[in-house]
């Protein structure tokens, strides 16, 4: 119930206007968001890299309302890619297609994504297309495939295990050699498209992990690149220790080396687990969001864990 309310609030314009005016809310968001500026985000990447973790940088923003905003977001990503091409950074980028105009015009989003993919390819880096709510999934897959067919092999996708369709999508995508990040899913979905029960979402994530691990073996168990930019074919985006243990155990059983199985987690969540996995020899990548559009991202993080709401409110009393 609380999850549903929070996910509703993450999209409500009136709530965004209200909450972003509260100083304490911005302070609380700092747990999940690396800062307002690219400079602050680069500082966070340096700190992560120093302890053996790679990063994926997200310039926060989604559901733009006009072509100028989409074009500005595209330019911002090109600047971001330029900043992280310095060899000191072990990082790539993640983005949302509705930030590039997918909600307005498919061709606009495709063209903006092509500019970003081209720039990333010229820098030898990788861009992950985050997955948003279910009405956008088909168009995200089309954009990925269109660019892949044009020769952009430096892009990858996210698959959400709460969607019924994901086993079928994953089977096709792994056969095409797609670099996937497997997650549970963070949006409000109806029972006609997504599993309402957590146990089913968890089971599906394990199934997808098995499929992706088998495919990674078939494709030669390619490791994450040593510069920390390009991830292996299989990445698990989760903080759930049971899901992580399942993927590790299955990979070990079928002989996929640790270097070909990446674990990804969100900035500010389970830093202990991030370090532990890296110390054990797995590639670990932290998703680092930054920017002034922190509201919807932060409220989705609250929805994932009701205890975070109390953490959020406790900032009201901090100075
Ligand atoms: P689960 O929610 O079961 O949590 C397991 C444990 O992790 C909890 O018990 C708690 O200890 C910890 N935890 C999880 N969330 C927490 C939080 N917010 N605060 C504090 N502790 C928390 N979703 C999507 O729809 N599209 C996408 O593109 C992405 N991209 C993405 C990238 C990466 C790197 C990650 C890690 C996640 C995403 N997600 C996402 C979000 C994902 O779908 C999911 O909502 C969250 O990861 C939470 O699910 P868990 O798998 O962590 O399990």
User: pLDDT tens for residues 12-67?
Assistant: 888 888 888 777 778 888 889 999 999 999 999 999 999 999 999 999 999 999 99
So what's the pLDDT on residue 292? 86
So what's the pLDDT on residue 49? 98
pTM assigned to the model: 0.95
CA distance 228 to 288: 14
Crossing angle for the helix pair 295-304 and 307-314, nearest 10 degrees? Answer: 130
Gyration radius of the chain over CA positions: 18
User: What does the DSSP 8-state code read for residue 197?
Assistant: S
CA distance 92 to 294: 20
pLDDT band per the 50, 70, 90 thresholds, residue 316: low
What are 105-160's pLDDT values in tens digits?
Answer: 999 999 999 999 999 999 999 999 999 999 999 999 999 999 999 999 999 999 99
Kindly tell me the number of DSSP H helices and DSSP E strands found in the chain: 13, 8
Nearest protein Cα to ligand 1, atom 31: 237
So what's the pLDDT on residue 22? 78
Answer whether residue 78 shows pLDDT above 90: yes
pLDDT band per the 50, 70, 90 thresholds, residue 10: confident
Q: Which two tokens stand for residue 193?
A: 């498209």
Does the CB atom of residue 235 touch ligand 1 within 6 A? Answer: no
So what's the pLDDT on residue 28? 81
Tokens 């997504």 found at: 194
Tokens 């009701």 found at: 306
Does the CB atom of residue 301 touch ligand 1 within 6 A? Answer: yes
First-to-last C-alpha distance (Å) of the chain: 31
What are 258-302's pLDDT values in tens digits?
Answer: 999 999 999 999 999 999 999 999 999 999 999 988 888 888 888
What are 187-230's pLDDT values in tens digits?
Answer: 989 999 999 999 999 999 999 999 999 999 999 999 999 999 99
So what's the pLDDT on residue 319? 56
Cβ contacts of 274-283, under 8 Å, gap ≥ 24: 274/53, 275/51, 275/52, 275/53, 277/244, 278/51, 278/52, 278/53, 279/52, 282/248, 282/258, 283/54, 283/223, 283/224, 283/228, 283/231, 283/232, 283/258, 283/259
What are 146-190's pLDDT values in tens digits?
Answer: 999 999 999 999 999 999 999 999 999 999 999 999 999 999 899
**Which three-class secondary structure string do you get for 87-114?**
CCCCEEEEECHHHCCCCCCHHHHHHHHH
- Residue 207 burial by CB count (10 A; 0-12/13-18/19+): exposed, middle or buried? middle
Alpha helices in 132-257 (DSSP H): 137-149, 166-175, 198-218, 241-254
- What separation in Å is there between the alpha carbon of 198 and the centre of ligand 1? 13
CA distance 315 to 319: 8
What domains sit in the chain, N to C, each tagged with a CATH number? 33-293 (3.20.20.220)
Percent of the chain with pLDDT over 90: 80
- Residue 274 burial by CB count (10 A; 0-12/13-18/19+): exposed, middle or buried? buried
- What separation in Å is there between the alpha carbon of 101 and the centre of ligand 1? 25
> What are the angstrom distances between the C-alpha of 60 and each of 7, 38, 95?
17, 11, 8
Nearest protein Cα to ligand 1, atom 7: 239
181, 240, 242, 272: residue to mutate for ligand 1 pocket, most atoms within 8 A of CB: 240
Catalytic sites, residue numbers: 130, 181
Nearest protein Cα to ligand 1, atom 43: 185
Q: Which two tokens stand for residue 53?
A: 């973790």
So what's the pLDDT on residue 48? 98
Does the CB atom of residue 239 touch ligand 1 within 6 A? Answer: yes
- What separation in Å is there between the alpha carbon of 149 and the centre of ligand 1? 31
- What separation in Å is there between the alpha carbon of 150 and the centre of ligand 1? 32
Is the CB of residue 157 less than 8 Å from the CB of residue 128?
yes
Answer whether residue 5 shows pLDDT above 90: no
């Amino acid at each position: 119930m609380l999850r549903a309310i929070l996910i509703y609030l993450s999209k409500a314009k009136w709530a965004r206007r209200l909450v972003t005016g509260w100083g304490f809310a911005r302070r609380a968001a700092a747990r999940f968001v690396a800062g307002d500026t690219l400079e602050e985000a680069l500082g966070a990447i340096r700190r992560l890299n120093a302890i053996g973790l790679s990063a994926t940088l997200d310039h926060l923003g989604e559901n733009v309302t006009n072509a100028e905003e989409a074009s500005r977001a595209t330019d911002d990503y090109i600047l971001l890619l330029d900043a992280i091409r310095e060899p000191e950074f072990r990082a790539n980028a993640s983005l949302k297609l509705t930030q590039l105009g997918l909600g307005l015009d498919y061709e606009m989003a495709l063209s903006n994504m092509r500019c970003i993919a081209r720039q990333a390819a010229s820098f030898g880096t990788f861009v992950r297309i985050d997955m948003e709510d279910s009405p956008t999934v088909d168009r995200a897959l089309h954009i990925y495939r269109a660019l892949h067919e044009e020769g952009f092999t430096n892009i990858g996708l996210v698959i959400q295990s709460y969607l019924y369709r994901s086993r079928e999508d994953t089977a096709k995508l792994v056969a095409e050699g797609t670099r996937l990040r497997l997650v549970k899913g963070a949006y409000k979905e109806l029972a006609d498209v997504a599993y309402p029960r957590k146990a089913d979402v968890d089971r599906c994530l394990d199934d997808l992990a098995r499929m992706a691990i088998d495919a990674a073996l078939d494709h030669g168990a390619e490791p994450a690149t040593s510069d920390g930019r390009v991830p292996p074919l299989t990445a698990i985006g989760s903080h759930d220790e049971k899901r992580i243990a399942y993927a590790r155990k299955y990979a070990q059983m079928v002989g996929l080396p640790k270097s070909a199985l990446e674990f990804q987690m969100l900035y500010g969540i389970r830093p202990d687990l991030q370090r532990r996995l890296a110390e054990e020899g797995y590639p670990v990548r932290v998703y680092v969001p930054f920017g002034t559009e922190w509201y919807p991202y932060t409220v989705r993080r609250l929805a994932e864990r009701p205890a975070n709401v109390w953490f959020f409110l406790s900032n009201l009393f901090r100075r």
